Structure 1
Amino acid sequence: MIVAGLYAGLFLVAFGAATILPLQSEAAVVGMVLADHDAGLVVLVAGAGNTLGAATNWLLGRGVERFRHRRWFPVGPGALRRAEGWYRRYGRWSLLLSWLPLGGDALTIVAGVLREPLAVFLLLVAIGKIGRYVVVVGLALGLA
């Protein structure tokens, strides 16, 4: 029961970290792996949460005209313009970089603005975000 709660907490932290909430999921991932939780399961749970959090940004992008001027909107106009330029230049493949701390959230919003199909969005974002967690876990285990 406690272990299930830890994984649920990890999912929620990873989900929140991909949205407007000021959370970092890497510390939770490292902590769980160093506490001898299954590294593969930690990566999958965090990756799923972070990918679904990014899907929330995609949804915000779909409604950008309604939301862009709200105080809570996660990306400023300048960052949104830069991300849109990057997205138009590199296309959907830029979603592989959605894990980046600066600009990653903006890319996921722009994907919604530009009507990237949800299935393609989820696949590319999941690859990038799960790949990041694989590297984080590898580094944590290498240093342990």
Structure 2
Amino acid sequence: MDAFIDTLIQLLIDWGYLGLFISALLAGSIIPFSSELVMIALVKVGLNPALCVLAATLGNTIGGMTCYYMGHLGKVDWIENYFKVKKEKIEKMQHFLQGKGALMAFFAFLPFVGEVIAIALGFMRSNILLTTLSMFVGKLIRYIVMLLALQGAISMIHYECTL
């Protein structure tokens, strides 16, 4: 399985911005995937960091909105069977989100709970425009911070190696 994932990541890197968009879309949905590896590799080979952040953010937001639409469909048995998100977890998140609304989509970038937030907002029929915008802003900030942190770490390692 690791060889398949490695091959897939390399293919997505070869596809450039489109590959990054696809990897971020997968990562933003309920499918576990690491778009960060693809983004860092593309920036390292010379692609424009701002365009990489934009491609990743757009893909990840669309992926996150697939979770919203799963909730909007209201098919709890599908979500439990195919995506392994328990009804109790969704209900707990809905209770937490009650009164907070679509702006909570900002936190859809968080690991483990981000997908549940998006699914719960779909169940709650939160304002789709505000949900999408909030989710986009949260994911944009996350990718910017992540890219800056990783570039800083790479620069530090490179500096240490030259000493």
TM-score over 0.5 for the alignment? yes
Give 1:85 deviation, angstroms: 2.0
Residues 20 and 74 in structure 1, CA contact (< 8 A), matched pair in contact too = no
1:63 counterpart residue number? 73
In terms of fraction of residues, the more helix-rich structure is 2
Residues 109 and 3 from structure 1, CA distance in 2 versus in 1: closer, same or farther, beyond 3 angstroms? closer
Residues 3 and 25 from structure 1, CA distance in 2 versus in 1: closer, same or farther, beyond 3 angstroms? closer
Q: How many Å separate the matches in 2 of 1:104 and 1:114?
A: 15
Instruction: Give yes or no for the alignment of 1:114 onto 2:124.
Output: yes
Q: How many residues align?
A: 141
Deviation above 2 Å: which 4+ runs of structure 1?
A: 2-5, 89-93
Q: How many Å separate the matches in 2 of 1:24 and 1:78?
A: 27
Instruction: Give yes or no for the alignment of 1:23 onto 2:23.
Output: no
1:12 counterpart residue number? 22
Q: How many Å separate the matches in 1 of 2:92 and 2:49?
A: 35
1:102 counterpart residue number? 112
Residues 24 and 79 from structure 1, CA distance in 2 versus in 1: closer, same or farther, beyond 3 angstroms? farther
TM-score (norm 2): 0.79
Residues 86 and 94 in structure 1, CA contact (< 8 A), matched pair in contact too = no
Which digits, 9 at most, give the CA deviation of each residue in 1:15-72, with x for residues without a partner? 01111212121111222222221110000000000001111111111112xx211211
Q: How many Å separate the matches in 2 of 1:48 and 1:35?
A: 21
Greater alpha carbon shift after TM alignment, 103-112 vs 3-12: 3-12
Greater alpha carbon shift after TM alignment, 39-48 vs 109-118: 109-118
Unaligned runs of 5+ in 2: 1-11, 156-163
Residues 3 and 26 from structure 1, CA distance in 2 versus in 1: closer, same or farther, beyond 3 angstroms? closer
Q: Bigger radius of gyration, 1 or 2?
A: 2
| RMSD (Å), alpha carbons | 1.9
Could you tell me which of 103, 110, 124 is aligned with 1:93? Answer: 103
Q: How many Å separate the matches in 2 of 1:74 and 1:16?
A: 16
Residues 13 and 41 in structure 2, CA contact (< 8 A), matched pair in contact too = no
Residues 7 and 42 in structure 1, CA contact (< 8 A), matched pair in contact too = yes
Could you tell me which of 47, 50, 73 is aligned with 1:40? Answer: 50
Unaligned runs of 5+ in 1: none
Secondary structure of residue in 2 paired with 1:96: helix
TM-score (norm 1): 0.89
Q: How many Å separate the matches in 1 of 2:13 and 2:39?
A: 14
Q: Percent identity?
A: 26
